Chain A
Amino acid sequence: MLEADSLIQHYLEGTLTDAEAEELHTRLQNDAQLGSKLLQHFEMDAMLRATKPLAVPGKVIQPALMPKRRFTFATVTTVAAMAACIALMGAWMAMSWLKSDVEATTASVAVLTRGVNLEWDSAAITPGTPLSPGLLKLKSGIAQIEFYQGARVVIEGPAELRLISSGEATCTHGKLSANVPPQAKGFRINTPKGTIVDLGTEFGLDVNDASAEVHVFKGEVELHKAAESMKSLKEGQAMAFAAESQLRAANASSFASLNEIHARTALSDHSQFERWQAQSAQRNADPSLKAHFDFQDDESARSLRNHAYAGEDGSIVGASWTTGRWPEKRALEFRNVSDRVRLSVAGETKALTIAVWMRVNGLDRSLNSIFMSEGWGDRKVHWQITREGHIRLGVAGSAGKGHVDYDSPVFFTPERFGRWMHLAVVFDPTAKEVRHYANGALLARLPLKDASPLKLGIAELGNWNDRRTRSVAIRHLSGAMDEFALWDRVLGEAEIKAMTK
């Protein structure tokens, strides 16, 4: 077996064999000091290479696995320091083929901002969801959609709306009202009977099998009927798309307005909050519940009440109070490196279920903490999100065994940032599985490699105390939590789904 010095040297030289890479990886996992040592040697190695004089006579051997260098930075420094135009002009000429940074992109054109009693015939969507071009089939309820160009549209189910672009949609069935600010002037709604072009206004549209009617509440719209000349409709006027139809008085009361959706959303939020309160209280009676923070503590509180029987309260460090899923629901915002909630879960547990309602603002760190045992090793548990968006349950080995990471497929993409999500993970020693859930749906089912009991001990929400003194890993969460619960048993799919209702 090679010494650590030799393994590190082979890494630096780029000559590690696969077996040596595996060996070094294992040793690094089990020895934090070796990691620090490797990084120190790596940095010193890089600095020593940078001190190389520009011209050194002698044999040049390019190690097999070392990446080929186009030229050393010492060359760049010298060339540029001399303001040698030649090299820079070369860079200039290269501009055209320089690749730009790879940026995340989105195809979305609008966002669902509010919803009341929504039931969908198309894929279910919740407020906060960015919408890409496609068909929305609302079975019942009221949905408010904001187009990226600025137009706000309220649709009442049953309705069918096809999003075409950030400034255009087609309504084939149902009622909608639109508020089009000056910035969104030119917003178009197509119907089977013709097209409406908005000139900065508020209007209502009622499309049914027999006809389509436009009611203008404010400003002016253009009506483009098939095979007819354009008609202009002013404030207070209404007209059907049918041929030879006459002008009528607009009837605002037959359309859901933005004010109405505000009022109905508030009512719906309140009733959902009350329903949650009732369910939450029921959950507290479960003897397998080891921790339950509902985050409904006083806003000046710096400790979190644990509603589980005999559970210890949590301690808030840094995190500040904010609004949760509903206006009456409180939550903690984790923003800074220091923000966290400290808690403790005593004893060993054979099975485990953890669930959280959280809003992720972004994945700033390589690993972003949800719930993490303090330190690492000896069956501790780390529940976190990787920068790439995988949800990871990491379980440390015992007696020198390596740890195992149970990763879900990528779940957190930019479209999911800023929205409340329910996550759950189950450690099931009977089925020998780890299962990840998101918003009540099974996300991943992974074979359990080591079913030994877990030891959670002191842990943190939204951060990690790794207990190393000199170098402390930064894994804080950028986001908020408004409910956290932990059971020492396996919760079934129905129970997890019920938490998301």
Chain B
Amino acid sequence: MESIIRTEKLTYSYAAAEGEASAPVLRGIDLEIEKGTFVAILGRNGCGKSTLAKQFNAILLPEGGRVLVSGMDTLDEALVLEIRRRIGMVFQNPDNQIVASVVEEDVAFAPENLGFPPAEIRARVDEALRMVGMYEFREHAPHLLSGGQKQRIAIAGVLAMRPTCVVFDEPTAMLDPQGRADVIHIIREMREEYGVTVVLITHHMNEAVYADRIVVMSEGGIAMDGTPGEVFGQVEAIRALGMDVPETTELLYELNKAGFDLPLDALTVEACAQAISRAL
């Protein structure tokens, strides 16, 4: 498989206050993200996952080691624009990501900056708005939309660049259950229907369940790396890292303690219910 992002012995630390040693945030990360996959990154607050995400499109640059995006080194200034075109970022707060007063103008912001002709911009904006299910709202004012709708507009703004990969940094943290479900649905669809590579940073374990692969970070390094089944199956190890498992796994785990013999990798509601019904 072709890799879209590769980090090699990546280290990074933020500038420290005078007289204090700067603590490394990333301690030699080797990570390869394959094109077309959905990778979830989990970890405690302060473990370095957002710092890592910002290395993926050259918002931050390596202190040691390097980051390659489709083979392009993020340290090469001449390649930064091309790298950012391929790797889009969506952040936690949709209000900070919306710049225009009309939805379609907001989504057109990036393609306009990339200098595309008007017809091309129109086509990309319409396509992006359809992908997130907000085409009917194209002439609305973003500030009158709900949090979830605003976040979908922010996603459309990134999709209008037709990126190879989109990195989501806690995109649902500020959303209500419906907004959260909508955004996760779009993320899954991006990967399944359009083949966009997805990197999702989240604190919600039940969102990570849909990933092809979960990377758990701890103290600037990678602590676990595997399929959701493999990672969440290690209930004690996950908890020791200050993380939790989805309620489905917790139920299966507790039932096993009470004498059942259930597979811990039945993560979705459907798989969990099926596994239990077979055991009864």
A and B, one complex? Answer: no
